[in-house]
A and B are shown apart, each in its own frame.
Chain A
Amino acid sequence: MKISRYLIVRAIILFCTVVVAVYITVFIANMGGHMDQIRRDQIKFDVAQAVYADPGNMGVPTAELQRMINERAEMQYRRLGLDQPFIVRSVGYLTTALSLNLGRSEYLTSDTGSREVRRVITERLMPTLLLLGTAVILVFIVAVFVALALSRRYGSFVDRAVIALAPTSSAPGWFYGIFLILLFAAVLRVMPYGGMVQSPPPKEPLAYALSLLRHLALPVSAIFLGGVFGGIYSWRTFFLIYSSEDYVELARAKGLSSRRIQNRYILRPTLPTIITQFMLTIITLWMGAIVLETVFNWPGLGRLYLTAVNLSDTPIIVGTVVIYGYLLAGTVLLLDFIYAIVDPRIRVGKGGGSR
């Protein structure tokens, strides 16, 4: 019962956090309603240009032209809901997003031509998962296991060499991406410049998969190079701290094998932290990688998000954010639940709380 109540309270708090976050997003994406006026201006400007350029309007009196421009502009305002006050529309954006209906985009269409925000996002989700999923999981696994190994060889040449490379992670993946493209695509001409598959894409599934792998190589390498040494450094430090705990020293004194010490006395107690970190890493995939996807011309969520921001396509911006918000909140709630169950240091109920 205590856990149920605890989880319900946590869920309510997290939901409220998501609501606030989404509304802030709506507010910022529309510059507090200021964006409405800019869009109205642009619509009217475009309409005026179109009316002016229409040969059928030759010789039409000015007043009539102005009426036509106003009428057409009003039609566009109605279509985009710009005839309503921003505060009303902002609530609409919020409720549509929170219900996960997500609604329709205002400018963008999906690659296959749909205006359903859900479809617009879904179509870009797979390429992003493929690219970032592969790269991030690779970085995570390599970093954790290499760090674990290095923590056992603290001070060795390999350890010092890897640690010396840690500052390379201060540059983002796209930075390495540009060099990789220049080297492997422009100079050596052995790898593609970008895109998801060759052009035109192969129709045979196997050939398609091979082409996909080839196109994944450079962007995955870029993310890997940009993240792996920093990751190793962080995890190594983390493992080293655990390696110097009293109970590990005791295990060593008892003469247990180093593999046993690693698995039972280092990995096991750090597992919740590793899982937490892994889950939080996984959900960050949702936001894509804006610059990297742009550099590699990868049709992912990051580029979609950038385009939506440039066009002020609020439903898509909010749709992306709300799903991220729910995923994050769900993950946090799940972790709270797991911790409450498995971690003896956490107590739930009156007078409880983490210590």
Chain B
Amino acid sequence: MTSNGWLRHTRFGVLLASLLLVAGFVAAADHTGAWVDEVVISEEPSEAAGIVRLETGDIDIHVTSITDAELLARVEADPNLRYEMSFGSYNEMSFNPIGPVFAEDAPGPLAGKLNPFSVPRVREAMNWLLDRDYIAGEIMGGLGVPKFTGLNSAFADARERYPHIVEDIQEYYAYDPDRAEAIISEEMEKLGAYKVDGIWHFDGEPVEIIVLIRVEDERLLIGDYVASQLEDIGFVVERMERTAAEASPIWLRGEPADARMHMYTGGWLSTAVSRDQGTLFNQMYTPRIMPFPLFQALTPDPRLDELSDRLYRRDYSSMEEREEIFEELLWLTMEDSARVWLTDAVGFNPMRADLDLAVDLAGGVSGSSMWAHTIHFHEEGVPQVGGTVNMTIPSILTDPWNPIGGSAWTFDNFPTRATFDTGVALDTRDGLAWPLRIERAEVYVLEGLPAEATHDWVELNFVDENIVPDDAWVDWDAEEQRFITAGELYPEGRTARRKSVAYYPDDLYDLPLHDGNTFSLADIIMGMILTFDRAKEESPIFDEAAVPSFESFMRSFRGVRIISEDPLIIETYSDVFTLDAEIMVTTWFPNFYYENPGFWHVLAVGILAEQERSLAFTGDKADKLGVEWMSFISGPSLAILAEHLQKSIQIGFIPYEPTLGQYVTRSEALTRWDNLDRWYRDKGHFWVGSGPMYLEDVFPVEGVVVLRRFENYPDPADKWLFLTEPLLD
């Protein structure tokens, strides 16, 4: 080839590539909803097998957060693979605070023996004795981050608000075994212990420490490391290695005074990004929350106790005051060290290199609320339209799916999240909310409450009072099937700590549902009714399992009012407030589980079935009635639901007619039923949402779920792509 020929070919190649790139962008710009055409999810319980299948291109993503360093090395070594990190679990050592000497008549092996860890200073010294960098780097193969305080390293309090406090603590408590030994020796001598041939003795016997070690995960090695460090400074250590079931009677149920162990390798889990970790101190350092003997035996310093409770109750009037409390409290917890925090475990979420999606900082891919909106193949960073994503997931279809009391398993909720929208979407990187179905919002909180707004879609106002209007709905009369207003129930008037106003767009009622129907105000009203009805004994679908959470809800709920029906504007009054205005917006949009369980006509079929005691929404009620737990997607439930669908069509059924009938005409109801009937005959299930993907097929025994792109989804595909960009430094 001549140089000119080469040049011509090169120019042609560049031109062609540019055209393809532009064409790709143009196609992407017109594209709505999901980027990909189809997602096929099947079960693969083995992490190692998942990685092998990724390596060979058999799948595009294995949906789980893995903490195996060897598997990470394999993924890192393969140029065709990539991963996203997520935080979730964290490790600590919990100490038995009883002592300094266990009672002679205690039933455990340590009866009459010394417990050095009853002394806060000894516990505090453990912070210097344990090398967290070693644990994170060597034991956890780099899949851990040293952790000194209870705050998660990746969440807002440690990362955004108080990194300087955390850094000071890290610096002060940096690994220093000599200092640890000096302090522990000092305290041991005060307790009357002494060393013989380098071994601590008390009452003529070696001081034996029992470390209760969990064996299922990295805690086995961590426990062994802790034991070795104690042996190095003169303790005799018994490593009591136990499974969860074996350890539970000792650390969880057992009385610490029974003298069975000195310390336990604790492990905890966060499944979502927490914007306010101020509540953890009451749980971890005081006996207020956890009803178990080891927690009940805690005797915190009065100041620590007071400040923990103030943070729990959010008893502060400004962010500055909150910071002061945090600073004092974090140092106090280090001095108390009822538990010594060790690491935040980091998991990696593996996938093929040409795939991208929004990954939740805490929950990983499986916990991402926006995965379906963002998942796409890309060519050198340019998102591509279309394609089928083959996924594996550790388990699927574990429990029945229904929108009220169905499966709560993470891996079941993963596909369901693709099928519905939410009023607001949680940012997978920092937990803040963005408007998804609503357009904007206003939040009114009482003057003096420490709230702030980060994004401009929400307007935060501070007011002297939030008076609940007389016509706001505050409760539900299940017998008459009508809402009870604030004027009726609280003639003396009612106030709330915050009010949120959600503004929906003008075209809300054009929003298409998967079954061919369009959204209506009745869908919102149905959700409001079900918030109350199932917990009312007079209701035909009363479920005692719904009562406890309803009681919690009513403790802070103050009222709701629809200000305008078209465009839809809803104001909600509540005493719950958070630090972020974005999180305080209540939208009532039907989204399964979170605020409102779904669309009225689909729910009605299930309600009819439960009314007639042929199925039940919750597993609890199903067990009580001896009927099947309702599944909208498979099994014996479907025939029963189909029967009730036909009944609904015949009678033009409108549930809660005295109220819902004001928002649905008989002909609208029939249209909904007809479309649902067609949907069921076509798809063979009742899972109807409005999300970017719909449920195309379910294969329960084979363990396969197929999701398809919902073509009528209105939002552009690139709307949420920013969530795939990193936020963390």
Q: Which residues of A contact B (CB under 8 A)?
A: 34-35, 37-38, 41-42, 44-45, 48, 51-52, 54-60, 62, 65-66, 68-72, 75-76, 79, 104, 109-116, 119, 123-124, 126-127, 181, 185-186, 189, 193-197, 199-201, 294, 297, 299
Contact = CB atoms under 8 A, between A and B. Distances in A.
Contacts of A65: 288-289
A194 B114 CA distance: 55
B544 A75 contact: yes
B675 interface: no
Contacts of A110: 635, 700
A45 B292 contact: yes
A68 to B, nearest CB: 6
A76 to B, nearest CB: 8
Q: Which of A54, A70, A71, A109 has the most CB of B within 10 A?
A: A109
Contact of A37 (B249, B314, B390, B622): B249
A112 B49 contact: no
A56 B40 contact: no
Contact of B253 (A41, A124, A194): A41
Interface in B381-417: 390, 397-401
A65 B158 CA distance: 28
A158 to B, nearest CB: 37
Contacts, number: 167
Interface string B44-55: 111001001101
Contacts of B637: 113
B475 interface: no
A299 B400 CA distance: 17
Contact of B576 (A37, A48, A55, A199): A55
A111 B701 contact: yes
B703 interface: yes
Contact of A119 (B398, B548, B636, B706): B636
A294 B245 CA distance: 23
A99 to B, nearest CB: 15
B252 A123 contact: no
B27 interface: no
Given A48-B291, A199-B42, 19 more contacts: A38-B245, A41-B249, A44-B291, A45-B292, A52-B279, A55-B576, A58-B312, A109-B399, A109-B629, A112-B635, A114-B629, A115-B629, A124-B701, A189-B58, A196-B701, A199-B40, A201-B702, A297-B43, A297-B44
Q: Which one of B44, B548, B553 has the greatest number of beta carbons of chain A within 10 Å?
A: B548
A38 B291 contact: no
Contacts of A48: 289-292
Interface size class of B (residues with CB under 8 A): 35 or more
B481 interface: no
Contacts of B43: 195, 297
A299 B702 contact: yes
Q: Which 6 pairs, one residue from A and one from B, show the smallest C-beta to C-beta distance?
A: A112-B635, A113-B400, A113-B631, A56-B552, A111-B700, A199-B42
Contacts of A119: 635-636
B548 A68 contact: yes
B289 A194 contact: no
A201 B400 contact: no
Contact of A116 (B45, B548, B628): B628
Contacts of A35: 245
A112 B396 CA distance: 11
A109 B400 contact: yes
Contacts of A72: 548
Q: Interface centre among A44, A52, A62, A111, by most B CB within 10 Å? A: A111
Interface in B446-463: none
Nearest to B252: A41
Contacts of A71: 548
B555 A56 contact: yes
Contacts of A55: 556, 576, 578
A346 B336 CA distance: 79
Contacts of A111: 397, 634-635, 700-701, 703
A200 B253 contact: no
A45 B400 CA distance: 24
B635 A114 contact: yes
Contacts of B10: none
B356 to A, nearest CB: 22
Nearest to B398: A109
A200 B700 CA distance: 11
Contacts of B314: 58-59
